[in-house]
Each structure stands twice: as structure tokens, then as C-alpha cells.
Amino acid sequence: MTQLEMARQGQISDLVRQAAAAENIEPEILRQKIAAGTAVICRNNKHTNGRPLAVGEGLRTKTNANLGTSQDDTSIDKELEKAKVAAAAGADALMDLSTGGPIDEIRAAIIAETDLCIGSVPLYQAACDAVITQGKPIVDMTVEDIFAGVKKHLEDGVDFITVHCGVTRETVSRMDREGRLLEVVSRGGSFTVGWMDYNNAENPLYEFYDRLLELVRPYDAVLSLGDGFRPGCLADATDRAQIQELIILGELTQRAQDAGIQVMIEGPGHMALNQIEANIKLQKRLCHGAPFYVLGPLVTDIAPGYDHITSAIGGTVAAAAGADFLCYVTPSEHLRLPTVQDVHEGVMAVRIAAHAADIVKGIPGAIDQDNAMAVYRKKLDWEGQYSVSIDPEKAKHWRDESGVDESHGACTMCGSLCAYKVMDGREKKKAV
């Protein structure tokens, strides 16, 4: 049986016990969430070195780091270094989005590098195999090519796969009738739209959805229903194409869960701040509480080089409103393949967003680290402050390089005029 089927029959699997322990909750609570479809366990049966990751309602907000080569940069070594850096920085999951070089080898190497949850977009592989290996255009992919790509990733142990099943001919027509500034910015979505137009056919992952479910079932991987019509700019957010796709994903969620397959939903995208909460609530309603995995949202379009910040702002609002899984955005989004340092900055930004949201959600223990920081700051205990910092090395480096005069124990901002020292003197006087 799958994890969903076991949970619905009242059985607590070993994976559920492990994931519950990591969440500091009772296994029975997690089982109930999985049974209801409001949480999932990401762990492919083939991913023998992977630890199970629980994502969903009432759980700590999880974070993902995207990795992967491009046709302009095919270095396996660089991607493995990024994987190590992302893991060390505290990412919960890695997505391999490679589209250049020996893709199979890269994916296998990333899976072997850490015990983190692994995601992928199999359609990228199918497209690359068509173009590079078979020498034919993407639009000449066959249905068998597409499903072979899915099979390959599942067999390699990928824990969750993004599939753009809601990109249909009807949804495309709605987009065309309304109009968009950026049309389709999802790479997988654009491949699918191009394929449908050229072949005058329906999206195979939608038309043959039952076949997809049967393919996933033996691996017990999670279907991450992708948002092919996610808005690529503020002007396109919450339009008919985006909402129509979400309606379809809600229907596909029920079909998958009826077949014993776990599902999460992917979401926007670029979106004005005042639309984010409504989008989260709409997704939760239409998809019956299935976990929501969001990219950003990016709350402005004009900050290339700083999109880890625009993403963290939107991600905090989204997660506080109920999003369960945040995909990082690096400073190099829209500009280049991220460097190792970009990956580190992106993970830190998204972890800050997730943590800030968990405090709002009331996740048990979320605020404890903040309270500890307050105590250490009051005491001017710098080692203590580093120990509870989200990025201890950076905090220590910045203080050390400031040339602080340690005789007063404060920092170079206030020195001997430090407010903590003033208040400490007041407390000592009161004690006397």
C-alpha cells in the first residue's frame, strides 16, 4: 500500500514515525493529516539514502533549493558543491532542474550527495532527450517520450515530481482570450503549450492522467501538480488562466488521492502583496487543503539582483496565510545560473521567510530561538547570539571584521553607549 492508503486505514508506517519525530509531533497526528490529504510524506521507495520529509498543514514550513545545469554550464562539480552548500545552509529539499550535460549522471550524483528530499521536472529531461539525443524539436516528442521521462526520474528515486497536468487546451484558450503581458513563463508549461499547438492535441499528462497515476504508484512518490500558468509579472497575477488551471488541479488532486497517490499543488509566481493571501485561501479551498508549494511569490518585478528579497517578502505572507513549502529564489533570478554564493543567499532568505511565518502560524517551538536571542543580546553574549543565529558564520564574521573594541563588550554601532549596558546599570542600581 501507499503511505496515503496506510494512513487512511489507520496504520502508522515507519516513515510516518520518522517524519513525526523530526516535526516533534505525535505520529498519530501526522497520520491523520496524511489521511485527510492535508499533508504528504515525500519519500520515493527507491530513494534508499533519503529521509522522509513531511509537508503540510500544521507542520514547520519547508524550504527548497533549485539546482541544475543549463546548456551554457554543464559542470557536475558545481552542482554538487551547490547541493552541499544548500544542505549546509538548512534547505529541506533540492530540486534538480538540469537541462545540460549528462543529465542522468547529474541527477544521480545530486541524489547520492545528501539525504535531503529530491524533486525534479521529468518533462525537462524528455525535452532534452528529444533535442540533444534524438535531434528533433521539442514539439516532436511523443507521448511515450514524455512518460519515459517520468519513469526514468521515478526509477532514480526522485521523491516528488512536478507535472504540468493543468495546462490544457481550454486553459490556453482562456489565456489567449484575456491576454497577458508575459503569457507562459513556466518552462514546462511553455513546452506543453508548444507541443499542444503543434500537434493539435491535448496535454498527454492531462489526457492520460490515470496512466500517470499508475506509473507513480509503485514508487509512492508525491505528485507536485505544477502551475504552468503561474504569473511571470504582477500584471498577469490572478487572471483567468491561473485560476482555471487551479480549478483543474483541484479536480486532479481528488482523482490522485482516490487512487492512493499523495499530492501537493504548486503556486505563483509574481504577485502583488495584497493578492497573496486570497490566492492561498483559494488554493486551499479548491484543492481541499492539499499542501501548497509556492515559488516566491515575488512582490515586484523591478529588482533583478535582489529577487531573493522580493521573494522572501512574498513567501512570508504566503506561508503565514497557509502555504506549506517555499521554493527559494536567488539574487541571480532572471539574470544567470546561480553561483554557490547565490544558492547560500537564496536558502537563507527563504529560511527567514519560513521561520517568520511559522511564528505567525504558532508552530510549536518556532519562537523559542527568537526568545533565546533576546536573552543573549541582553547579556551581550556574542557566542550565544551566534549559536541561535540563522547564519552563525556570517554573524560572527561581520562582528569580527568590524574592529570592535572588546573592552566595552558591545558592537561598533553604539560602543559604550549601548542601550543594553545602560539598562543593565539601571537594574544593578535597583538591586542595590
Q: Per-residue pLDDT for the chain (432 aa), expressed as one digit of tens each?
A: 999 999 999 999 999 999 999 999 999 999 999 999 999 999 999 999 999 999 999 999 999 999 999 999 999 999 999 999 999 999 999 999 999 999 999 999 999 999 999 999 999 999 999 988 888 999 999 999 999 999 999 999 999 999 999 999 999 999 999 999 999 999 999 999 999 999 999 999 999 999 999 999 999 999 999 999 999 999 999 999 999 999 999 999 999 999 999 999 999 999 999 999 999 999 999 999 999 999 999 999 999 999 999 999 999 999 999 999 999 999 999 999 999 999 999 999 999 999 999 999 999 999 999 999 999 999 999 999 999 999 999 999 999 999 888 888 889 999 889 999 888 877 777 766
Calculated CA dihedral for residues 54, 56, 62, 64, nearest 10 degrees: 90
Q: Are residues 209 and 68 in the same domain?
A: yes
Is 266 annotated among the ligand-binding residues?
A: yes
Which domain range does residue 392 map to? 368-431
Is 129 annotated among the ligand-binding residues?
A: no
Question: Which residue type, as a one-letter code, is found at position 360?
Answer: V
Question: Is residue 375 in some structural domain?
Answer: yes
Q: Are residues 410 and 334 in the same domain?
A: no
Is 334 annotated among the ligand-binding residues?
A: yes
Q: Are residues 328 and 372 in the same domain?
A: no
Is 188 annotated among the ligand-binding residues?
A: yes
Q: Are residues 307 and 401 in the same domain?
A: no
Q: Are residues 127 and 243 in the same domain?
A: yes
Is 14 annotated among the ligand-binding residues?
A: no
Is 124 annotated among the ligand-binding residues?
A: yes
Q: Are residues 239 and 213 in the same domain?
A: yes
Is 135 annotated among the ligand-binding residues?
A: no
End residue of a domain, out of 361, 386, 414? 361
Please tell me the total count of domains within the chain. 2
Is 117 annotated among the ligand-binding residues?
A: no
Is 211 annotated among the ligand-binding residues?
A: no
Inter-helix orientation angle 240-258/169-178, to 10° = 160
Contact yes or no for 93/62 (Cβ under 8 A):
yes
Is 153 annotated among the ligand-binding residues?
A: no
Is 169 annotated among the ligand-binding residues?
A: no
pLDDT at site 428 = 72
Question: Is residue 276 in some structural domain?
Answer: yes
Question: Is residue 269 in some structural domain?
Answer: yes
Is 95 annotated among the ligand-binding residues?
A: yes
End residue of a domain, out of 361, 385, 403? 361
Q: Are residues 188 and 163 in the same domain?
A: yes
User: Phi and psi for 53 in degrees, rounded to 5?
Assistant: -120, 120
Is 42 annotated among the ligand-binding residues?
A: no
Q: Are residues 290 and 407 in the same domain?
A: no
Question: Which residue type, as a one-letter code, is found at position 171?
Answer: T
Q: Are residues 286 and 336 in the same domain?
A: yes
Give strand ranges (E) for 11-163: 39-42, 53-56, 62-67, 93-96, 117-120, 160-163
**Exposure string for 57-76, b = 16+ CB within 10 A, e = fewer:** bbbbbbbbbbbbbeeeebeb
End residue of a domain, out of 340, 361, 382? 361
Tell me the C-alpha distance between 317 and 312, whole Å. Answer: 9
Is 64 annotated among the ligand-binding residues?
A: no
Q: Are residues 130 and 246 in the same domain?
A: yes
Residue 97: closest CA among 112, 82, 114: 82
Model pTM score: 0.96
Is 203 annotated among the ligand-binding residues?
A: no
